[in-house]
Amino acid sequence: MNFKLSYKEKSRILNVRQVKGLAMGIGLTFKSRNTEILLFDFGKLTRLSITSFFVFFPFLAVWLDGKNRVIEKRVVQPFQFRIAPKKGFRRLIEIPINSRNAKIFEFLDEGGKV
């Protein structure tokens, strides 16, 4: 699905797969670096933390508010136990770090980390 992301007065359309149900607890676990971008919509403000146990590659976690504006973003390394944003959020996007997503990293000012 197409998803509009806003960051620093700019916006970009991302092709994402919305994760629902039990899959929300799995995320990028056991996936390859070349998997799709995942979108988690919690439907309300939350402060849930994520883990990167059994995620074998780094990825960019992007926490969003209800208007799809970036609240916080962080490169997550494999096998971290608990990753939590500083503020509440409504949506989370997990973007695998790979050459296919390089333009997204440039858009989010993370260009040197791909």
Closest CA to 1 of 21, 11, 16: 16
**Any domain includes 103:** yes
**Any domain includes 27:** yes
Predicted pLDDT of residue 22: 86
Predicted pLDDT of residue 52: 96
Q: What is the CATH number of the domain that holds 7?
A: 2.60.120.1140
Count of the separate structural domains present in the chain:
1
**Any domain includes 26:** yes
**Any domain includes 21:** yes
**Any domain includes 45:** yes
Q: What is the pTM of this model?
A: 0.93
Confidence band of 35 (pLDDT split at 50, 70, 90):
very high
**Any domain includes 67:** yes
Domain enclosing residue 45, as ranges: 2-107
pLDDT digits (tens, 9 = 90+) for 50-102: 999 999 999 999 999 999 999 999 999 999 999 999 999 999 999 999 999 99
**Any domain includes 51:** yes
**Any domain includes 19:** yes
